[in-house]
Amino acid sequence: MQGINYWDEFEYSKLKLLLNNEKVNSILDVRNGMKKMDEQFPISIELHLTDNCNLNCEWCTDKSLRQNKAVMDLQVIKRLFREFWQHGTGVTLEGGGEPTLHPDFKEIVAAGKASNIDMGLISNGTVDISDCIDGLKWVRISLDSSTQDEYKREKGVDCFERVLGNLEKMSKARNPMDTFIGVGYVLTTRNQSNLVELIKQLDSIGIDYIYLRPVEESEDITPSLESLLDLRKKLAELTANTRIRYMLAISDRIVDRNAGLPCIAHSLTSVIHANGEMALCEKRRTDGIILGNVYESSFEEIWVSPYREQISQKLLDAECQGGCSACRITGFNMIFEQLEKVHSKHFI
């Protein structure tokens, strides 16, 4: 019998735009040529705490960042939190490395909580953070394997049982109404055979969801579209009788280059690297755009700067998306494109 699950919003994430109507209108004003950029703060920020990592994933897309070994200064983080609180911006704690390795990680969570910041965490789960989980709205643990042997092959170290133990500790420590706990799973051709048993185990310890997506930029181990569709059928049958939910990002395999659309939704989020560099996004592998550095300027100064206005205008040209790999923002760009074409908007 399927129980209560508080992650229904995960399936309908695009609908959260309805809760941010001023932001939506500002983005559409740019699309309509009424202004040159959306000056409102992002709905959420991806904040990299450190570039250091204790794993060695073969397919990691952030290996170049990890070479920096940067660690973001605690006082800079607290200053950013004050700005984000003023504008209602949520913060995802993550990294080019493992965020929980930041020497002040628990103080960072406490500072965000004290500032009334909505925070999420993407972590590899090797560090037990159950004693500060009440400061987080959600946690997603990147597991990417179903057995100890798979973990060692995919991650380069032997931490599988430790991560499962930490997941169970977090599940017991959290209030399920206040903090969602999920598992991230990068699919390769090597880690699918034991997935059903893993999901049953995750369900038994109270994990809310599993988010699966195919590996990026490792074509030799990227699952075929046919295998992904077959997996979706198996997952649908399995989760019909479990509490845990799943999401399989198949569209990441079939939609590229931002679907040939202008990237007007880029301002929904932004990325701040551990060295302070503020990036437009993380998907422009061949055309990375750095907007400024939060060690030198406030977030707001960078966000409303003439340079960002110039970039916003550049992204209105659909041809400028050639450097983009598959991206979750594409789905939002498609929504804005569809909204723009609605002929009967004054009728329900």
User: How do the pLDDT tens digits run along the chain, 348 residues long?
Assistant: 344 454 455 556 778 888 899 999 999 999 889 999 999 999 999 999 999 999 988 878 777 777 778 999 999 999 999 999 999 999 999 988 999 999 999 999 999 999 999 999 999 999 999 999 999 999 999 999 999 999 999 999 999 999 999 999 999 999 999 999 999 999 999 999 999 999 999 999 999 999 999 887 678 898 988 999 999 999 999 988 898 999 888 765 566 777 888 889 999 999 999 999 999 887 765 667 899 999 999 999 999 999 999 999 988 887 776 656 667 888 888 888 888 888 898 898
Residues 6+ apart with CB under 8 A from 84: 41, 45, 90, 91, 115, 117, 299
| Per-residue confidence (pLDDT) for residue 317, from 0 to 100 | 85
Q: Position of tokens 């006082």?
A: 75
Under 8 Å between Cβ of 294 and 302:
yes
| Per-residue confidence (pLDDT) for residue 79, from 0 to 100 | 97
Q: What backbone torsions phi and psi does residue 221 show, to the nearest 5 degrees? A: -125, 15
Q: How far apart are the first and last CA of the chain?
A: 37
Beta-strand runs (E) in the chain: 44-48, 90-94, 119-123, 138-142, 180-187, 209-214, 245-248, 269-272, 277-279, 290-293
SS3 content of the chain, % helix, strand, coil (to 5): 45, 15, 40
CA atoms within 13 A on the CB side of 339: 19
Which token pair is 326? 């598959």
Nearest one of 133, 220, 200 to 172, comparing CA atoms: 133
Pairing of strands 245-248, 209-214: parallel
**Chain-centroid distance, C-alpha 277:** 18
Consecutive H or E run containing 25: helix 21-31
- Tally the residues of the chain: 348
Which token pair is 346? 């004054």
| Per-residue confidence (pLDDT) for residue 58, from 0 to 100 | 80
| Per-residue confidence (pLDDT) for residue 17, from 0 to 100 | 87
Which token pair is 124? 């590899």
Report the interhelical angle of 148-155 vs 160-173 (nearest 10°): 100
Angle, vertex CA 285, rays to CA 24 and CA 338, nearest 5: 30
| Per-residue confidence (pLDDT) for residue 2, from 0 to 100 | 45
| 323-333 core/surface letters (b: 16 or more CB in 10 A; e: else) | ebbbbbbbbbb
